[in-house]
Structure 1
């Protein structure tokens, strides 16, 4: 018998690990997964931020907990995987969201800043995905991995953004998503990416303060994203409603990436 749409989107009994989950897009997606019934584990670097985020989720009736870790450091990533599996058992959904940006002209871009962005935005995604898949998903032939990329990874960049490492890392996330989906499809693991546009957050504040009005004018829907816009896509990719979707990316950007030359 075919399941209802409510059953397809239901995450009851599932566990999700969300990195960069203490605020912004990560916390938004954690709400979506928790509201659909998943138990949620949040991770970011700062315990105080995590405590506040978990309290917010719990106040909404969501089973949530936290583990502090720096996903740019391999030892921290291994510890995060170990502690998550010890505390909650299997991980059904992994949301790789932790990220960083750094602005500077390409000709003067500091190599240590390049390494910082790359280590967190793409190397960390790979290491955590590898650990969670090997220890929790592959043997069960089941899993959902959602990587947060960006429309900045789709090619090009306005000259005044000067975020070459961020753009490069997010382009790598898209290719990483496609390659991993091809390798791990045999294990029943889907791997997809979300490419947000400009949604107000700590990461985008500097850009929006400078050229927010211009970005709105260039967006077909004539507005920036908000605190709800990633929820539906995250739930689709995490649930059985999206069980036959893998290796894909979806831009959530008000149509900006559809504009020629945009």
Structure 2
């Protein structure tokens, strides 16, 4: 048995085409309030959202992200940043170079973003995350004047959907939910899921594919390595110790 909240969450899908209708100030405030209501490790509140209203910056960010046109088209585009610079301004003696700060910042920011996504969906809006910002993370940092200890993790398009894509099937629960200890892959279940994904990819309206899920994993991970990120993180003050 489900409820309206669970139904809402399970109906989420990425939207890449938007109507021109703008969001109201009330809608934006409601989404921000929901985002800020997310849990925060030790209540550090180490996340910041930058709303991009400058059309030239939107265009540049779209280009930096792999020319994803919906960044320009969407009524709203927000950049979610892990942010310990706020804490640095409060006390410059705080040790912020440890890996733990990076983890905490990423977790806090992601929890905040997902709250924003669900809130937007509850208002009849659609969203899509833009991890492609990290393709040119140093240029994004310069464009948005991000100081030390601020990390642009991803963008988020928000607006009224102008498409209704099918929901992408997820892995079977038995492959992601274990009890008491980690378990090896059930290859029979994985094969069934691959078959389901091939059917999904073959029948969706755009970007049709013939592959399943597991046979593209190596390619997907390899093409998203972004080997320059570690040096960038060090320059921004992250994980130097």
Query: TM-score, with normalisation over the residues of structure 1?
Result: 0.27
Indicate the structure whose relative CO is greater, using CA pairs within 8 Å and at least 6 residues apart: 2
Query: TM-score, with normalisation over the residues of structure 2?
Result: 0.29
Higher gyration radius (CA): 2
